[in-house]
Amino acid sequence: MAKSAPRTPQTNLACVGRLRCFLAGRGHSRAHGRRRIGACRGAVPPADVAGDGRLFLPVAHLEVGREIQETAEEPNLLWLPLALLLPGVIGLFFYILSQPPNPLYGIQKMLEKTARSQGRVETDAIKEKLVIEKGIPLVQVDDGKETKLLGLDYQKSEGHVMVVAPTRAGKGLHLTDTLRHYPGPALIIDPKGEQFRRTAVLRRKLGPVYRIPGHQVHLSAYYRHLRDRDEAIELHYHLLRPWASSEPIFAEKALSLFTAVGLYAQAKRLNPIRLLLDLAESNPVEALTALRTVAAARRHVDIFTNGAAPNAYQEDRFVTSALGNFTTRLAPYQKHINTIAPPDLRRRDLIVPPDWAQQNGTIYITYSLNDLRAAGGVVAATIAAILRFHMRQNQKQKMLVAIDELPAVGLRNVADYLSTCGGYGVTLLLYVQSVAQLQSLYGKDGTRAILSNCDHQLWYPAAEMETARFMSELYGTTMKASPMQSASRSARQQRGKDGKAQTQMTNNQGASWSWREGAALSPNEMIALPQGQVLATMLAGRRYVFLGQRLNSIHLFDRFPAPDGLRLPHPIYRPRRYTDWRALTTPPPRDSGGKKRVSRKKLPETPLEPEEKPKKQPEATEKPKTDAFAKPGEAGDGVKKAAKPDSRQPSGRTKLMG
């Protein structure tokens, strides 16, 4: 057997180099060992040797920088722990993969999946998608640099909005910010008048501003002067409110009076709204007798009196009760007769024009809450009239209708308008205090119908349990852990070594967890939400439900200019002038020849609808447009232009129209 060569320092260094190359994946390299020996002797630069250890870059850099000094007699072994680090990392990686999954991580993923499936997200995850500059804001997000608004974009978003907030919760602040950021026309029900004081000057920069009472609405023209049965039914529904009575049959009986008054007003060229209110405070025998002088109206008067003569209707208790209900229901509206039936249609500066939306105007209806309870029928009839007229135009122009204190207004068929007017560009923004308040007027089914038609909803912290339950259902469910514990004790007798009986007791205890589906936030948690936090749900491609920060512009109130400079008209309540039914009933005197004398004094004409303009006659001069919806340069209500008065025409201020 041959003897091995004696080991020298050069041989040791060559072996170290070969081991480095082997661990580095370079295999056995004699040349590398020789280069290391040459590096120790100074014949080979250290950089050439260091470059061979590709996987030992830290050692190579240290060698190049002369941080590691090694010789043939004393080679540096710093590379050894670094070489062992790579297998350790690989082993740790495979060890982690071989471990069972973390149950807490799986539970977290399960909860996140449940939340996403129900649309429940954080505001940071959707703020880029729902951020707006113009439109209807719902919540605000403060990222430290600036405050961003999340809500309905003016150009892209559609759908109606419901805001549920108890008293003093801040829903007025939400409406203020909405009027600040909504650039289109708006109709605002403002019982407190605070929105008018805060935003009227700002809205005036966008278009004309009107305030009711103060300005007047030609309600008869909106309802086509009651010549259409459907229009008469709609006005009857809002003024007499048969749905609010325990015996609606008496209010429904008076519908024939609305039709009779419309036909009578058409024949006499009078305002049917004013005639209706005058009829409610006149001698019923004289009024019914006057209505029967028009053949078209006589049929409907006889339907109301069940065929009895006007002076014999008292014998029918049903007719008497129906007439009493008619006068009682219209009594609260008598104060506002000049607001809804303008006495002088020539005062166009006082009348809201029909094209106010095309002018990008804003209408504030500022009846106080006390007046709103009495005049709710007038306000509801005005809202319905504007909505119906807007849909008849079929222009699909965007318009905001914000109704604060919806139950006090009493727009009973609001669910019908929610389902129809959205396609015409109208967005309804409804404010209520609680779900119970909605249910008191619309019932449970009606409340569900209203909420289902509002794609976007904003809920402030509830003040009562019914609203809190709705909020809890809306926020969705999650998986909650339910712990279970078990305990058992057993006894066993056995004999010991000494033969005596012994009792051995065994106690067993166990614990386990089960998962059940429950509310993500309970009703009690909804009531206890922090002040300033609100629950919002939006439809933007898909349903989103999230908690956000309420809108708050209190710090800007000092910058809002007062509306005193707008110089809007104030409401004036003058002594009432009633229709003289006897003068309308008395036939004109006859001359000696037995022929009727034709009076040169004409009755004031009733405004016509735009589509009912008389055709131009070739031989006679064209009659002026008498509709309040005519152009501003044209006179209305059958009155000639004031520039050229005609002595044969009435002045427009007769005793027939107060």
pLDDT in tens, 197-248: 999 999 999 999 999 999 999 999 999 999 999 999 999 999 999 998 889 9
State how far the Cα of 384 lies from the Cα of 237, in Å rounded to an integer.
Answer: 11
State how far the Cα of 318 lies from the Cα of 151, in Å rounded to an integer.
Answer: 54
- Closest of 439, 434, 380, 379 to residue 411, by C-alpha: 380
Residue 597 has pLDDT above 90, yes or no: no
- Closest of 398, 365, 91, 341 to residue 219, by C-alpha: 341
Residue 50 has pLDDT above 60, yes or no: no
Q: Is residue 35 within 8 Å of residue 97, measured between CB atoms?
A: no
What single-letter amino acid sits at 239? L
Range with the lowest mean pLDDT among 110-124, 337-351, 439-453, 481-495?
Answer: 481-495
| Helices 171-181 and 194-204, packing angle to 10 deg | 10
How large a percentage of the chain has pLDDT more than 90? 46
State how far the Cα of 417 lies from the Cα of 83, in Å rounded to an integer.
Answer: 78
44 against 403, higher pLDDT: 403
Owner of token pair 């009933």: 585
CA distance readout (Å), 190 to 233, 236, 292: 27, 24, 42
Owner of token pair 């707008």: 566
Check residue 399 and give its pLDDT: 95
Check residue 627 and give its pLDDT: 46
Ramachandran bin of 66, using left for φ above 0, alpha for ψ from -120 to 50, beta for the remaining angles: left
Mean per-residue pLDDT for 362-382?
A: 91
Residues 139 and 196 in one domain: yes
| 483 within domain boundaries | no
Residue 322 has pLDDT above 70, yes or no: yes
Residues 171 and 257 in one domain: no
Q: Is residue 163 within 8 Å of residue 428, measured between CB atoms?
A: no
Check residue 27 and give its pLDDT: 43
| 71 within domain boundaries | yes
Residue 443 has pLDDT above 60, yes or no: yes
Residues 444 and 543 in one domain: yes
How large a percentage of the chain has pLDDT more than 70? 75
Residue 414 has pLDDT above 70, yes or no: yes
Residues 163 and 303 in one domain: no
Residues 204 and 228 in one domain: no
Among 340, 366, 393, the domain boundary falls at: 340
pLDDT in tens, 522-556: 999 999 999 889 999 999 888 899 999 999 999 99
| 313 within domain boundaries | yes
| 347 within domain boundaries | no
The structure tokens listed for 556 are 């800007």
Owner of token pair 């066993």: 492
Q: Is residue 653 within 8 Å of residue 344, measured between CB atoms?
A: yes
| 109 within domain boundaries | no
653 against 154, higher pLDDT: 154
Check residue 603 and give its pLDDT: 42
Residues 211 and 230 in one domain: no
Range with the lowest mean pLDDT among 36-40, 218-222, 256-260, 648-652?
Answer: 648-652
| 94 within domain boundaries | yes
The structure tokens listed for 213 are 């009472």
Among 559, 578, 607, the domain boundary falls at: 559
Residues 454 and 473 in one domain: yes
| 565 within domain boundaries | no
Beta pairing, strands 501-519 & 477-495: antiparallel
pLDDT in tens, 273-308: 999 999 999 999 999 999 999 999 999 999 999 999
User: Omega of the bond prior to 213 within 30 degrees of 0, cis?
Assistant: yes
458 against 650, higher pLDDT: 458
Residues 331 and 388 in one domain: no
Residues 413 and 439 in one domain: yes
CA distance readout (Å), 585 to 45, 366, 576, 582, 619: 129, 39, 21, 5, 34
What is the pLDDT confidence band of residue 99, given thresholds at 50, 70 and 90?
Answer: confident
Owner of token pair 């990686």: 93
State how far the Cα of 401 lies from the Cα of 176, in Å rounded to an integer.
Answer: 14
Beta pairing, strands 186-189 & 501-519: unpaired
| Domain span at 29 | 9-98
Q: Is residue 206 within 8 Å of residue 183, measured between CB atoms?
A: yes
What single-letter amino acid sits at 315? E
- Closest of 410, 402, 400 to residue 430, by C-alpha: 402
State how far the Cα of 258 lies from the Cα of 267, in Å rounded to an integer.
Answer: 14
Residue 259 has pLDDT above 60, yes or no: yes
State how far the Cα of 283 lies from the Cα of 202, in Å rounded to an integer.
Answer: 49
State how far the Cα of 363 lies from the Cα of 401, in Å rounded to an integer.
Answer: 10
What is the pLDDT confidence band of residue 595, given thresholds at 50, 70 and 90?
Answer: very low
* Cβ neighbours for 279, distance < 8 A, ≥ 6 positions apart: 257, 261, 287, 579
Check residue 611 and give its pLDDT: 42
The structure tokens listed for 641 are 């232009």
Residue 310 has pLDDT above 50, yes or no: yes
Residues 285 and 272 in one domain: yes
Q: Is residue 442 within 8 Å of residue 410, measured between CB atoms?
A: no
Mean per-residue pLDDT for 579-603?
A: 60
**What's the mean per-residue pLDDT of the chain?**
80
Range with the lowest mean pLDDT among 44-48, 193-197, 338-342, 525-529?
Answer: 44-48
Q: Is residue 315 within 8 Å of residue 365, measured between CB atoms?
A: no
Q: Per the structure, how many domains does the chain have?
A: 3
What is the SS3 assignment for 412?
A: coil
Residue 136 has pLDDT above 70, yes or no: yes
| 582 within domain boundaries | no
What is the pLDDT confidence band of residue 182, given thresholds at 50, 70 and 90?
Answer: very high
Residues 411 and 540 in one domain: yes
Owner of token pair 């007699």: 73
Among 340, 368, 395, the domain boundary falls at: 340
* Cβ neighbours for 559, distance < 8 A, ≥ 6 positions apart: none
DSSP string computed for 109-147: HHHHHHHHHTTB--HHHHHHHHEESSEEEEEEEE-SS-E
Residues 290 and 308 in one domain: yes
What is the pLDDT confidence band of residue 625, given thresholds at 50, 70 and 90?
Answer: very low
Which CATH number does the domain housing residue 408 bear?
3.40.50.300
Check residue 658 and give its pLDDT: 33
